[in-house]
Each structure stands twice: as structure tokens, then as C-alpha cells.
């Protein structure tokens, strides 16, 4: 009995130490700046997301200004996609739910199939997913513009490929962007553990006022 008592107090102690350490590192953790950096004489200039202008599920313009001062998560998908998109949307819904009460966090999903995914289709999709357009924008626009912003701003790729199920190859990445339009993380949106990390990283960014 005494042995058990000693044992369990050891475990308790260990757990306390671990918890304390975990808390410490989480508090101090900062996220990297992704993409190419430019250096001036006095400063480092980080890669930022370029200007854009798309239409969302409410037919409203969504531009880089919409996200000014906000943290947001971006991805590329299409509504009729049979392969990875449903998993991505399941996972993005977790991000949505975990940040529901925080107006500083938004989501931006680009369709890479604007021919099929019209505003009406995106509206229906968002409604059926049960999400608010204040927080989660589903956008469409010129196909070339969408592909370009994926490659140049978010460092992900999307191309048409008739041989793929659904007709497109695209990255399943979720891209985390900070309040100043700088890319701070890339996550595999098809893997729950990566999305766990994304959700933790959003908290890190929220505490960081820079």
C-alpha cells in the first residue's frame, strides 16, 4: 500500500512538472515566417500575401482588406471533389468550431473550379455546412487569378488534370496567415494531428500582438 502511495505521488509529481514545462514552452513559443525574406539595411522584409479581389458566397467582394488586422486560415478546394476535400472540410470545420467565438480569426476557402462552383453553389455548400459567411468566406473568381494567388502568395499548387478523379490536382494544405498578411504556417488539412497543431498555433498568434 505504501509502495503504491509513493508510486502514485511520483506520477503526480512528474505530471505536474510536465504540465508546468508544457505551459512554459507554449507561452514562449513563436511561429516562423515562411517564404522568401528580403533584407534592407535596417530590417527584414517578410513574404506577405499579395493583393486579391474575389467574390464570396454572398456575392460580396472579398479582398486583402477584408482580412486586415485578422488572423486567417486559407485553403483551396472544389465542392464536387470526391477525394481529399471532404476531409479538408471536416477538418476546417474543427478550426471553425474552435475559433467560433473569436472575431479575430477568419477562414478563406478558394474554389479551384470556378466554372462549376458559382456563387449560388458556394452559398448552398456553406449553408449545408452550417457556417456563417462573416467568418468563413468561400470565394470564386478568375481561374488564373486563383491559381496564381495559390502559387505566389500561399506557396501551394493547384492545376487541372482530367485524369484525376474530379479533374484537378491540388494541395490539401491549410495556410495560416497573421494580422499583417505574413504566412506563419503550412499544415496538411487532411490530417487531424496537423490540424490540432494549427489550432494551437492560432492561439500562439492570437497572443502575439505583432
| Residues 142-181 as x/- pattern, contact with other proteins by CB under 8 A | -----------------------xx---------------
Q: Choose, by CB under 8 A, the member of 84, 186, 199, 206 that binds other proteins.
A: 84
Size of the site for other proteins (CB under 8 A): 19
Buried b / exposed e along 158-174 (16+ C-beta atoms within 10 A): beeeeeeebebebbbbb
Contact between 89 and other proteins per CB under 8 A: yes
Contact between 76 and other proteins per CB under 8 A: no
- The number of C-alpha atoms within 13 Å of 12 and in the hemisphere containing its C-beta is 6
Neighbour-count burial of 143, counting CB atoms closer than 10 A to its CB (0-12 exposed, 13-18 middle, 19+ buried): middle
Candidates 30-38, 46-54, 120-128, 172-180; binding stretch for other proteins (CB under 8 A): 120-128
CB 34 within 8 A of CB 186: yes
Contact between 23 and other proteins per CB under 8 A: no
Residue 185 CB, nearest approach to other proteins (Å): 24
Neighbour-count burial of 81, counting CB atoms closer than 10 A to its CB (0-12 exposed, 13-18 middle, 19+ buried): buried
Contact between 102 and other proteins per CB under 8 A: no
d(CA 98, CA 95): 5
Contact between 87 and other proteins per CB under 8 A: yes
Contact between 9 and other proteins per CB under 8 A: no
Query: Interface residues with other proteins (CB under 8 A)?
Result: 4, 79-80, 82-84, 86-87, 89-90, 93, 124-125, 127-130, 165-166
Amino acid at each position: 500500500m505504501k509502495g503504491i502511495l509513493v508510486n502514485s505521488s511520483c506520477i503526480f509529481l512528474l505530471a505536474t512538472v510536465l504540465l508546468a514545462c508544457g505551459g512554459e514552452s507554449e507561452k514562449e513559443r513563436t511561429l516562423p515566417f515562411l517564404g522568401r525574406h528580403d533584407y534592407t539595411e535596417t530590417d527584414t522584409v517578410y513574404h506577405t500575401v499579395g493583393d486579391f479581389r474575389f467574390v464570396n458566397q454572398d456575392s460580396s467582394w472579398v479582398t486583402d482588406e477584408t482580412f486586415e488586422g485578422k488572423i486567417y486560415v486559407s485553403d483551396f478546394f472544389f465542392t464536387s471533389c470526391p477525394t481529399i476535400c471532404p476531409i479538408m472540410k471536416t477538418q476546417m470545420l474543427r478550426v471553425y468550431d474552435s475559433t467560433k467565438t473569436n472575431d479575430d480569426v477568419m477562414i478563406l476557402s478558394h474554389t479551384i473550379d470556378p466554372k462549376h462552383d458559382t456563387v449560388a453553389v458556394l452559398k448552398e455548400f456553406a449553408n449545408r455546412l452550417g457556417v456563417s459567411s462573416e467568418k468563413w468566406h468561400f470565394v470564386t473568381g478568375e481561374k488564373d487569378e486563383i491559381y496564381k494567388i495559390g502559387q505566389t502568395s500561399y506557396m501551394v499548387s493547384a492545376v487541372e488534370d482530367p485524369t484525376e478523379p474530379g479533374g484537378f490536382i491540388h494541395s490539401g494544405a491549410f495556410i495560416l496567415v497573421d494580422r499583417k498578411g505574413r504566412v506563419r504556417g503550412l499544415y496538411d488539412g487532411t490530417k487531424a494531428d496537423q490540424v490540432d497543431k494549427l489550432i494551437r498555433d492560432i492561439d500562439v498568434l492570437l497572443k502575439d500582438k505583432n
